[in-house]
Amino acid sequence: MKRRPRIRFLDTRPLRGSRPFRDLWIGTSAAQVGGQIANVAVLAQVWDLTGSPVGTGAIGLATGLPMVLFGLLGGTLADTVDRRAVVRATTAGQLLAAAGLCAQAVADNRNVPLLFALVAAQAGCGALGAPARRTFPVRLLPADQVAAGLALTNVSFQAAMLAGPALAGLIIARWDFSAAYAAQAVAGAVAMLAVIRLPAMPPQGAAAAGGRRRAKRGGWGVVLRRPTLWGSLATDLSATLLAMPVALFPLVNEIRFGGDPRTLGLFLSAVAVGGITAGLFSGTVTRWRRGGLVQLSAAGLWGLALAGFGLAGPLWLALGCLAAAGAADTVSVITRSALVQLETPDAYRGRVSSVEHVIGVAGPELGNFRGGLLASATSASFSLVFGGLSALAAIAAVSAANAPLRAYRTPSAAGQPSAAGTDAAPAAGPAG
Protein backbone atom coordinates (compact mmCIF):
# COMPACT_ATOMS: atom_id res chain seq x y z
CA MET A 1 0.00 0.00 0.00
CA LYS A 2 1.33 3.43 -0.91
CA ARG A 3 2.45 5.37 2.12
CA ARG A 4 0.91 8.79 2.53
CA PRO A 5 3.46 11.64 2.81
CA ARG A 6 3.99 13.09 6.27
CA ILE A 7 2.68 16.62 6.65
CA ARG A 8 5.08 18.92 8.44
CA PHE A 9 3.98 21.80 10.58
CA LEU A 10 6.37 24.17 8.79
CA ASP A 11 7.73 23.34 5.34
CA THR A 12 11.39 24.42 5.29
CA ARG A 13 12.32 22.99 1.89
CA PRO A 14 12.74 26.46 0.32
CA LEU A 15 15.37 27.41 2.92
CA ARG A 16 17.22 24.11 2.57
CA GLY A 17 17.09 23.84 -1.20
CA SER A 18 17.64 27.39 -2.49
CA ARG A 19 20.55 29.58 -1.33
CA PRO A 20 19.19 32.68 -3.13
CA PHE A 21 15.83 32.27 -1.42
CA ARG A 22 17.59 31.77 1.90
CA ASP A 23 19.52 35.03 1.40
CA LEU A 24 16.29 36.79 0.47
CA TRP A 25 14.53 35.42 3.54
CA ILE A 26 17.29 36.53 5.91
CA GLY A 27 17.39 40.04 4.46
CA THR A 28 13.63 40.36 4.40
CA SER A 29 13.40 39.14 7.99
CA ALA A 30 15.90 41.76 9.15
CA ALA A 31 14.04 44.51 7.29
CA GLN A 32 10.75 43.40 8.82
CA VAL A 33 12.13 43.61 12.37
CA GLY A 34 13.50 47.07 11.66
CA GLY A 35 10.24 48.14 10.07
CA GLN A 36 8.22 47.05 13.10
CA ILE A 37 10.54 48.96 15.43
CA ALA A 38 10.15 52.08 13.30
CA ASN A 39 6.36 51.64 13.07
CA VAL A 40 6.03 51.71 16.85
CA ALA A 41 8.40 54.68 17.05
CA VAL A 42 6.37 56.66 14.50
CA LEU A 43 3.08 55.74 16.18
CA ALA A 44 4.41 56.75 19.60
CA GLN A 45 6.07 59.94 18.31
CA VAL A 46 2.93 61.12 16.50
CA TRP A 47 0.79 60.35 19.55
CA ASP A 48 3.28 62.27 21.70
CA LEU A 49 3.11 65.27 19.35
CA THR A 50 -0.65 65.29 18.69
CA GLY A 51 -2.47 63.21 21.30
CA SER A 52 -5.18 62.61 18.72
CA PRO A 53 -6.56 59.47 16.99
CA VAL A 54 -6.84 61.58 13.84
CA GLY A 55 -3.09 62.20 14.08
CA THR A 56 -2.25 58.51 14.44
CA GLY A 57 -4.78 57.68 11.71
CA ALA A 58 -3.06 60.18 9.41
CA ILE A 59 0.02 57.95 9.51
CA GLY A 60 -1.99 55.60 7.34
CA LEU A 61 -2.71 58.39 4.90
CA ALA A 62 0.97 59.41 4.78
CA THR A 63 1.98 55.86 3.92
CA GLY A 64 -1.04 54.75 1.92
CA LEU A 65 -1.01 57.43 -0.76
CA PRO A 66 2.66 56.90 -1.77
CA MET A 67 2.02 53.17 -1.81
CA VAL A 68 -0.77 53.58 -4.32
CA LEU A 69 1.17 55.97 -6.57
CA PHE A 70 4.58 54.31 -6.54
CA GLY A 71 3.30 50.76 -6.19
CA LEU A 72 1.57 50.94 -9.58
CA LEU A 73 4.66 52.51 -11.18
CA GLY A 74 6.81 49.79 -9.63
CA GLY A 75 4.72 47.14 -11.34
CA THR A 76 5.55 48.55 -14.78
CA LEU A 77 9.24 48.74 -13.86
CA ALA A 78 9.21 45.12 -12.70
CA ASP A 79 7.86 44.00 -16.09
CA THR A 80 10.41 46.08 -18.01
CA VAL A 81 13.86 45.90 -16.35
CA ASP A 82 15.87 43.59 -14.12
CA ARG A 83 13.79 43.15 -10.98
CA ARG A 84 16.84 42.76 -8.78
CA ALA A 85 18.13 46.17 -9.89
CA VAL A 86 14.79 47.77 -8.99
CA VAL A 87 14.85 46.25 -5.50
CA ARG A 88 18.48 47.29 -4.97
CA ALA A 89 17.71 50.93 -5.78
CA THR A 90 14.55 51.11 -3.71
CA THR A 91 16.15 49.40 -0.72
CA ALA A 92 18.87 52.05 -0.81
CA GLY A 93 16.16 54.73 -0.82
CA GLN A 94 14.51 53.18 2.24
CA LEU A 95 17.87 53.18 3.98
CA LEU A 96 18.29 56.91 3.32
CA ALA A 97 14.78 57.61 4.63
CA ALA A 98 15.57 55.67 7.81
CA ALA A 99 18.62 57.87 8.29
CA GLY A 100 16.41 60.93 7.86
CA LEU A 101 13.98 59.67 10.50
CA CYS A 102 16.89 59.17 12.87
CA ALA A 103 18.21 62.67 12.18
CA GLN A 104 14.85 64.38 12.84
CA ALA A 105 14.53 62.54 16.15
CA VAL A 106 18.08 63.53 17.18
CA ALA A 107 17.15 67.15 16.39
CA ASP A 108 14.03 66.83 18.62
CA ASN A 109 11.73 67.61 15.71
CA ARG A 110 8.28 68.88 16.72
CA ASN A 111 7.07 69.34 13.14
CA VAL A 112 4.54 66.61 12.36
CA PRO A 113 4.41 67.31 8.57
CA LEU A 114 8.20 66.77 8.37
CA LEU A 115 7.84 63.45 10.14
CA PHE A 116 5.03 62.45 7.78
CA ALA A 117 7.13 63.48 4.76
CA LEU A 118 9.94 61.13 5.78
CA VAL A 119 7.46 58.33 6.47
CA ALA A 120 5.91 58.94 3.04
CA ALA A 121 9.32 58.87 1.34
CA GLN A 122 10.18 55.57 2.94
CA ALA A 123 6.78 54.12 2.04
CA GLY A 124 7.16 55.32 -1.55
CA CYS A 125 10.55 53.63 -1.96
CA GLY A 126 9.20 50.42 -0.49
CA ALA A 127 6.16 50.50 -2.76
CA LEU A 128 8.28 51.12 -5.87
CA GLY A 129 10.29 47.97 -5.22
CA ALA A 130 7.55 45.78 -3.74
CA PRO A 131 6.08 44.42 -7.02
CA ALA A 132 9.51 43.26 -8.16
CA ARG A 133 10.26 41.80 -4.72
CA ARG A 134 6.99 39.87 -4.72
CA THR A 135 8.00 38.04 -7.91
CA PHE A 136 11.21 36.67 -6.38
CA PRO A 137 9.86 33.49 -4.69
CA VAL A 138 8.14 32.19 -7.81
CA ARG A 139 11.39 32.72 -9.78
CA LEU A 140 13.64 31.18 -7.13
CA LEU A 141 11.53 28.16 -6.13
CA PRO A 142 9.77 25.22 -7.83
CA ALA A 143 6.03 25.75 -8.29
CA ASP A 144 5.09 23.29 -5.55
CA GLN A 145 7.28 25.17 -3.02
CA VAL A 146 6.04 28.71 -3.74
CA ALA A 147 3.32 28.60 -1.08
CA ALA A 148 5.80 27.17 1.43
CA GLY A 149 8.26 29.97 0.66
CA LEU A 150 5.54 32.57 1.13
CA ALA A 151 4.55 30.90 4.39
CA LEU A 152 8.14 31.14 5.66
CA THR A 153 8.22 34.82 4.75
CA ASN A 154 4.96 35.38 6.57
CA VAL A 155 6.21 33.54 9.66
CA SER A 156 9.25 35.81 9.77
CA PHE A 157 6.93 38.81 9.43
CA GLN A 158 4.80 37.61 12.33
CA ALA A 159 7.92 36.96 14.39
CA ALA A 160 9.00 40.52 13.62
CA MET A 161 5.59 41.77 14.75
CA LEU A 162 6.09 39.89 18.00
CA ALA A 163 9.67 40.91 18.67
CA GLY A 164 9.70 44.32 16.97
CA PRO A 165 7.21 46.16 19.22
CA ALA A 166 8.81 44.74 22.35
CA LEU A 167 12.27 45.80 21.15
CA ALA A 168 10.91 49.21 20.20
CA GLY A 169 9.48 49.68 23.68
CA LEU A 170 12.78 48.75 25.29
CA ILE A 171 14.82 50.93 22.94
CA ILE A 172 12.57 53.98 23.29
CA ALA A 173 12.37 53.61 27.07
CA ARG A 174 16.13 53.14 27.45
CA TRP A 175 17.20 55.72 24.87
CA ASP A 176 14.77 57.63 22.62
CA PHE A 177 13.08 57.67 19.22
CA SER A 178 16.37 58.23 17.41
CA ALA A 179 17.74 54.92 18.65
CA ALA A 180 14.69 53.09 17.32
CA TYR A 181 15.12 54.67 13.88
CA ALA A 182 18.85 53.85 13.97
CA ALA A 183 17.96 50.20 14.61
CA GLN A 184 15.81 50.25 11.49
CA ALA A 185 18.72 51.66 9.48
CA VAL A 186 21.00 48.84 10.63
CA ALA A 187 18.37 46.26 9.67
CA GLY A 188 18.02 47.97 6.29
CA ALA A 189 21.75 47.58 5.67
CA VAL A 190 21.45 43.84 6.27
CA ALA A 191 18.56 43.69 3.79
CA MET A 192 20.65 45.59 1.23
CA LEU A 193 23.50 43.07 1.49
CA ALA A 194 21.06 40.21 0.96
CA VAL A 195 19.61 41.78 -2.20
CA ILE A 196 23.09 42.35 -3.64
CA ARG A 197 23.76 38.59 -3.39
CA LEU A 198 20.70 37.62 -5.43
CA PRO A 199 21.01 36.56 -9.08
CA ALA A 200 19.81 38.85 -11.85
CA MET A 201 16.09 38.42 -12.51
CA PRO A 202 15.00 40.16 -15.72
CA PRO A 203 11.41 39.53 -16.85
CA GLN A 204 11.14 36.42 -19.00
CA GLY A 205 11.99 37.38 -22.59
CA ALA A 206 14.02 40.42 -21.59
CA ALA A 207 17.36 38.66 -22.00
CA ALA A 208 16.80 38.33 -25.74
CA ALA A 209 16.00 42.04 -25.89
CA GLY A 210 19.23 43.14 -24.27
CA GLY A 211 17.99 43.01 -20.67
CA ARG A 212 15.09 45.40 -21.22
CA ARG A 213 11.78 45.10 -23.00
CA ARG A 214 8.53 46.91 -23.52
CA ALA A 215 5.92 45.67 -21.08
CA LYS A 216 3.02 43.90 -22.75
CA ARG A 217 -0.30 45.67 -22.60
CA GLY A 218 -3.10 44.35 -20.48
CA GLY A 219 -1.69 44.17 -16.96
CA TRP A 220 -4.97 45.29 -15.41
CA GLY A 221 -6.85 43.09 -17.87
CA VAL A 222 -5.27 40.00 -16.33
CA VAL A 223 -6.87 40.87 -13.00
CA LEU A 224 -10.24 41.85 -14.46
CA ARG A 225 -10.56 38.82 -16.75
CA ARG A 226 -9.61 36.23 -14.14
CA PRO A 227 -12.29 35.85 -11.44
CA THR A 228 -9.79 34.07 -9.19
CA LEU A 229 -7.51 37.13 -9.21
CA TRP A 230 -10.02 39.94 -8.79
CA GLY A 231 -11.97 37.92 -6.25
CA SER A 232 -8.88 37.23 -4.15
CA LEU A 233 -7.80 40.87 -4.24
CA ALA A 234 -11.34 42.12 -3.51
CA THR A 235 -11.46 39.83 -0.49
CA ASP A 236 -8.26 41.30 0.88
CA LEU A 237 -9.38 44.87 0.19
CA SER A 238 -12.66 44.25 2.01
CA ALA A 239 -10.81 42.97 5.07
CA THR A 240 -8.15 45.66 5.28
CA LEU A 241 -9.97 48.81 4.22
CA LEU A 242 -12.96 48.15 6.46
CA ALA A 243 -11.37 46.51 9.51
CA MET A 244 -7.90 47.74 10.48
CA PRO A 245 -7.43 48.32 14.25
CA VAL A 246 -3.83 49.56 14.68
CA ALA A 247 -4.55 53.31 14.60
CA LEU A 248 -7.09 52.77 17.38
CA PHE A 249 -4.72 50.88 19.68
CA PRO A 250 -3.49 54.01 21.55
CA LEU A 251 -7.07 55.22 22.10
CA VAL A 252 -8.35 51.82 23.24
CA ASN A 253 -5.35 51.50 25.53
CA GLU A 254 -5.97 54.98 26.97
CA ILE A 255 -9.69 54.44 27.62
CA ARG A 256 -9.74 50.84 28.82
CA PHE A 257 -6.30 50.11 30.24
CA GLY A 258 -4.97 53.40 31.62
CA GLY A 259 -2.57 54.18 28.78
CA ASP A 260 0.10 51.73 29.96
CA PRO A 261 2.70 51.53 27.14
CA ARG A 262 3.29 47.88 27.96
CA THR A 263 -0.33 47.13 27.10
CA LEU A 264 0.04 48.95 23.79
CA GLY A 265 2.92 46.62 22.97
CA LEU A 266 0.81 43.61 24.00
CA PHE A 267 -1.84 44.54 21.44
CA LEU A 268 0.68 44.33 18.62
CA SER A 269 2.33 41.23 20.07
CA ALA A 270 -1.01 39.41 20.40
CA VAL A 271 -1.61 39.78 16.67
CA ALA A 272 1.85 38.35 16.06
CA VAL A 273 1.34 35.42 18.46
CA GLY A 274 -1.75 34.41 16.52
CA GLY A 275 0.11 34.80 13.23
CA ILE A 276 3.08 32.73 14.37
CA THR A 277 0.80 30.01 15.71
CA ALA A 278 -0.93 29.78 12.36
CA GLY A 279 2.44 29.88 10.63
CA LEU A 280 3.67 26.86 12.56
CA PHE A 281 0.84 24.89 10.96
CA SER A 282 1.49 26.35 7.51
CA GLY A 283 2.89 23.04 6.29
CA THR A 284 -0.70 21.82 6.41
CA VAL A 285 -2.26 25.03 5.08
CA THR A 286 0.03 25.21 2.06
CA ARG A 287 -0.98 21.67 1.07
CA TRP A 288 -4.69 22.49 1.06
CA ARG A 289 -5.59 22.92 -2.59
CA ARG A 290 -8.86 24.84 -2.00
CA GLY A 291 -6.93 28.09 -1.68
CA GLY A 292 -9.80 30.40 -2.60
CA LEU A 293 -12.19 28.94 -0.05
CA VAL A 294 -9.48 29.02 2.63
CA GLN A 295 -8.78 32.71 1.97
CA LEU A 296 -12.47 33.65 2.08
CA SER A 297 -12.96 31.83 5.38
CA ALA A 298 -9.85 33.30 6.97
CA ALA A 299 -10.70 36.85 5.88
CA GLY A 300 -14.18 36.50 7.35
CA LEU A 301 -12.71 35.32 10.65
CA TRP A 302 -10.45 38.40 10.65
CA GLY A 303 -13.45 40.74 10.52
CA LEU A 304 -15.34 38.79 13.16
CA ALA A 305 -12.35 38.72 15.55
CA LEU A 306 -11.81 42.49 15.28
CA ALA A 307 -15.48 43.14 15.97
CA GLY A 308 -14.98 41.01 19.08
CA PHE A 309 -11.97 43.12 20.06
CA GLY A 310 -14.17 46.20 19.87
CA LEU A 311 -16.55 44.69 22.42
CA ALA A 312 -14.02 42.93 24.68
CA GLY A 313 -13.73 44.29 28.22
CA PRO A 314 -11.11 42.16 30.01
CA LEU A 315 -7.55 42.39 28.73
CA TRP A 316 -7.29 38.64 28.24
CA LEU A 317 -10.34 38.61 25.97
CA ALA A 318 -9.09 41.59 23.95
CA LEU A 319 -5.73 39.90 23.44
CA GLY A 320 -7.46 36.63 22.50
CA CYS A 321 -9.49 38.38 19.81
CA LEU A 322 -6.35 40.01 18.40
CA ALA A 323 -4.53 36.65 18.39
CA ALA A 324 -7.42 35.09 16.46
CA ALA A 325 -7.29 37.99 13.98
CA GLY A 326 -3.53 37.50 13.55
CA ALA A 327 -3.96 33.78 12.84
CA ALA A 328 -6.68 34.46 10.30
CA ASP A 329 -4.56 37.13 8.62
CA THR A 330 -1.61 34.75 8.21
CA VAL A 331 -3.71 32.08 6.53
CA SER A 332 -5.37 34.66 4.28
CA VAL A 333 -2.06 36.24 3.23
CA ILE A 334 -0.39 32.91 2.45
CA THR A 335 -3.24 31.64 0.29
CA ARG A 336 -3.78 34.98 -1.48
CA SER A 337 -0.09 35.48 -2.29
CA ALA A 338 0.34 31.97 -3.68
CA LEU A 339 -2.82 32.27 -5.79
CA VAL A 340 -1.81 35.62 -7.28
CA GLN A 341 1.72 34.55 -8.19
CA LEU A 342 0.74 31.16 -9.60
CA GLU A 343 -2.21 32.48 -11.60
CA THR A 344 -0.34 35.37 -13.25
CA PRO A 345 1.79 34.95 -16.43
CA ASP A 346 5.35 36.22 -15.90
CA ALA A 347 4.94 38.93 -18.55
CA TYR A 348 2.31 40.57 -16.32
CA ARG A 349 3.53 39.45 -12.91
CA GLY A 350 5.12 42.76 -11.92
CA ARG A 351 2.01 44.81 -12.64
CA VAL A 352 -0.35 42.32 -11.04
CA SER A 353 1.99 42.19 -8.04
CA SER A 354 1.79 45.98 -7.87
CA VAL A 355 -1.99 45.76 -7.64
CA GLU A 356 -1.63 43.15 -4.91
CA HIS A 357 0.87 45.34 -3.09
CA VAL A 358 -1.33 48.43 -3.25
CA ILE A 359 -4.27 46.50 -1.87
CA GLY A 360 -2.31 44.44 0.64
CA VAL A 361 -0.26 47.30 2.08
CA ALA A 362 -1.95 50.59 1.23
CA GLY A 363 -5.36 49.10 2.02
CA PRO A 364 -4.51 48.61 5.72
CA GLU A 365 -2.99 52.08 5.98
CA LEU A 366 -6.05 53.74 4.45
CA GLY A 367 -8.17 51.48 6.63
CA ASN A 368 -6.35 52.81 9.68
CA PHE A 369 -7.13 56.36 8.55
CA ARG A 370 -10.79 55.44 8.05
CA GLY A 371 -10.90 53.85 11.50
CA GLY A 372 -9.34 56.89 13.16
CA LEU A 373 -11.79 59.27 11.53
CA LEU A 374 -14.80 57.16 12.47
CA ALA A 375 -13.56 56.77 16.05
CA SER A 376 -13.09 60.53 16.40
CA ALA A 377 -16.71 61.05 15.33
CA THR A 378 -18.16 58.17 17.38
CA SER A 379 -16.03 55.93 19.60
CA ALA A 380 -13.24 53.37 19.31
CA SER A 381 -15.65 50.51 20.10
CA PHE A 382 -18.16 51.57 17.44
CA SER A 383 -15.42 52.00 14.83
CA LEU A 384 -14.03 48.52 15.52
CA VAL A 385 -17.36 46.69 15.63
CA PHE A 386 -18.82 48.48 12.61
CA GLY A 387 -15.63 47.94 10.63
CA GLY A 388 -15.34 44.25 11.49
CA LEU A 389 -18.97 43.45 10.65
CA SER A 390 -18.80 45.54 7.46
CA ALA A 391 -15.74 43.57 6.36
CA LEU A 392 -17.52 40.29 7.08
CA ALA A 393 -20.52 41.37 4.99
CA ALA A 394 -18.34 42.52 2.08
CA ILE A 395 -16.38 39.25 2.06
CA ALA A 396 -19.63 37.28 2.06
CA ALA A 397 -20.75 39.30 -0.96
CA VAL A 398 -17.52 38.54 -2.84
CA SER A 399 -17.90 34.85 -2.04
CA ALA A 400 -21.50 34.79 -3.26
CA ALA A 401 -20.62 36.57 -6.53
CA ASN A 402 -17.44 34.62 -7.36
CA ALA A 403 -17.95 30.88 -7.81
CA PRO A 404 -14.54 30.39 -9.54
CA LEU A 405 -12.74 31.70 -6.45
CA ARG A 406 -14.70 29.39 -4.16
CA ALA A 407 -13.84 26.42 -6.41
CA TYR A 408 -10.19 27.37 -7.06
CA ARG A 409 -7.57 24.65 -6.56
CA THR A 410 -3.83 25.30 -6.49
CA PRO A 411 -1.64 23.29 -8.92
CA SER A 412 -0.27 20.02 -7.59
CA ALA A 413 3.42 19.14 -7.87
CA ALA A 414 2.62 16.46 -10.44
CA GLY A 415 0.06 18.53 -12.32
CA GLN A 416 0.36 20.61 -15.44
CA PRO A 417 2.36 23.85 -15.22
CA SER A 418 0.43 26.93 -14.18
CA ALA A 419 -0.25 29.70 -16.66
CA ALA A 420 2.17 31.73 -14.55
CA GLY A 421 5.03 29.93 -16.17
CA THR A 422 4.20 31.20 -19.63
CA ASP A 423 3.63 34.49 -21.37
CA ALA A 424 0.27 33.34 -22.69
CA ALA A 425 -2.56 35.83 -22.92
CA PRO A 426 -4.86 35.78 -19.89
CA ALA A 427 -7.82 33.48 -20.08
CA ALA A 428 -11.34 34.72 -19.71
CA GLY A 429 -12.19 32.24 -17.00
CA PRO A 430 -10.48 30.76 -13.94
CA ALA A 431 -7.23 28.92 -14.34
CA GLY A 432 -7.06 25.89 -12.13
Tell me the mean pLDDT in the region 160-172. Answer: 81
* pLDDT, position 412: 59
Tell me the mean pLDDT in the region 424-432. Answer: 31
* pLDDT, position 428: 29
Residues 6 or more apart whose CB falls under 8 angstroms from that of 413 comprise: 142, 143, 144
* pLDDT, position 220: 67
* pLDDT, position 50: 83
* pLDDT, position 120: 92
| pTM over 0.85, yes/no | no
Does 415 have pLDDT greater than 50? Answer: no
* pLDDT, position 208: 40
**What's the pLDDT tens digit per position in 393-405?**
999 999 999 888 8
Least confident of 206-210, 215-219, 241-245: 206-210
* pLDDT, position 246: 82
Instruction: Give percent of the chain with pLDDT exceeding 90.
Output: 21
Tell me the mean pLDDT in the region 65-94. Answer: 86
Tell me the mean pLDDT in the region 418-423. Answer: 39
* pLDDT, position 319: 93
Residue with more model confidence, 142 or 32:
32
Average pLDDT, the chain: 81
Residue with more model confidence, 245 or 281:
245
* pLDDT, position 16: 87
Amino acid at 53: P
Three-state secondary structure string covering the chain: CCCCCCCCCCCCHHHHHCHHHHHHHHHHHHHHHHHHHHHHHHHHHHHHHHCCHHHHHHHHHHHHHHHHHHHHHHHHHHCCCCHHHHHHHHHHHHHHHHHHHHHHHHCCCCCHHHHHHHHHHHHHHHHHHHHHHHCHHHHHCCHHHHHHHHHHHHHHHHHHHHHHHHHHHHHHHHCCHHHHHHHHHHHHHHHHHHHHCCCCCCCCCCHHHCCCCCCCCCHHHHHHHCHHHHHHHHHHHHHHHHCCCHHHHHHHHHHHHCCCHHHHHHHHHHHHHHHHHHHHCHHHHCCCCCHHHHHHHHHHHHHHHHHHHHHCCCHHHHHHHHHHHHHHHHHHHHHHHHHHHHHCCHHHHHHHHHHHHHHHHHHHHHHHHHHHHHHHHCCHHHHHHHHHHHHHHHHHHHHHHCHHHHHCCCCCCCCCCCHHHCCCCCCCCCCC
* pLDDT, position 281: 74
Least confident of 35-39, 253-257, 410-414: 410-414
* pLDDT, position 97: 93
**What's the pLDDT tens digit per position in 97-122?**
999 999 998 888 888 889 999 999 99
* pLDDT, position 217: 58
* pLDDT, position 417: 37
**What's the pLDDT tens digit per position in 337-356?**
888 877 777 777 777 877 77
Least confident of 259-263, 376-380, 425-429: 425-429
Tell me the mean pLDDT in the region 185-196. Answer: 91
Report, at the CATH architecture level, how domain 18-205+221-421 is classified: Up-down Bundle (1.20)
Does 213 have pLDDT greater than 90? Answer: no
